[in-house]
Structure 1
């Protein structure tokens, strides 16, 4: 069980448009149900970060820039990255990379849904390639 739940941050544009961060709402409810702490301000996006939703899977995988930074450090052993939908794993990998850079090595990813990549057999949960 993780010591801390960390939601994937939304860009400021998305927060302004939606009025909320879906991952933060999920993390808050999970934290309450599991009696674990969570923090919405641990990791943030750079203010200039653009929305990647319109990018193709390949564009996301090819984009090597990491849009996240650690806003404040916290001494815990195991953290769980909380996201609403995982598409290409790029966001999760970038967040995990930043967490590793500040000393975290036991990192889990918890997501509500997984978007299947092209070439996936929709009748099963297997990838054709």
Structure 2
């Protein structure tokens, strides 16, 4: 009987998806045309999304095609190796992707989180090692009350639903309400985020993927990776929708 339960649950979910698409057919968030492949994105707008095709193999920082083809890490990763092992960032923080991320973060357009998660899941499914758990970058409780939600968690919940990877929302917390990182230099960002996180319980996973919406310098995820590595996590990857 127990072996039939996952099959039945999957069948129910498939029927629910079919009914939802019949009653509420997908519509492209970017242009309003009919969506494709069950997503709120049309094929034309999908082709226009700014792919992060040439980038550092470690931090996914955009690079020129020649450097990227050589598969060498960027100067920043060579000079100051990050605590994380690899960043997966399928898009650049431009155009349609920027619209989707800012619409989610500042206008609470939660449909954007589902689409961003679908696009991220597609990329990591083809390019990333499967982690033991996903850990969205936490917000400080004051910032959470102000915004009402954490965009990294909203994306993470959808990625977890797509992949079946467990979501860890409780092991790491932000203990300082740091000022916004935007507008700060790399050095200022590192100082601003220093010791901003703490682990409140052990993470019994050898491989963790930190998840966020966008990565700029990597200072935030580096701090989290330092904590996780010091606690005994063997591998820490970073999954973000876009690289700035």
Structure 2: gaps (5+ residues): 1-129
Which structure has the higher relative contact order (CA within 8 Å, separation 6+)? 1
* 1:54-113 CA-partner distances (Å, limit 9, x unpaired): 551231134472210002113112110001111110001000000011101211000011
TM-score where L is the length of structure 1: 0.80
Give how far 1:11 is off: 1.5
Structure 1: gaps (5+ residues): 116-129
Which structure: greater strand fraction?
Answer: 1
Worse-matched range after superposition: 27-36 or 70-79:
70-79
Q: Give the corresponding residue for 1:93.
A: 222
TM-score where L is the length of structure 2: 0.44
Which structure: greater helix fraction?
Answer: 2
Structure 2 matches for 1:12-27, cutoff 5 A?
A: 12-27=141-156
Structure 2 matches for 1:1-129, cutoff 5 A?
A: 1-46=130-175, 48-58=176-186, 59-63=188-192, 65-115=194-244
Q: CA RMSD in A?
A: 1.6
Matched residues in 2 for 1:64 and 1:17: separation? 19
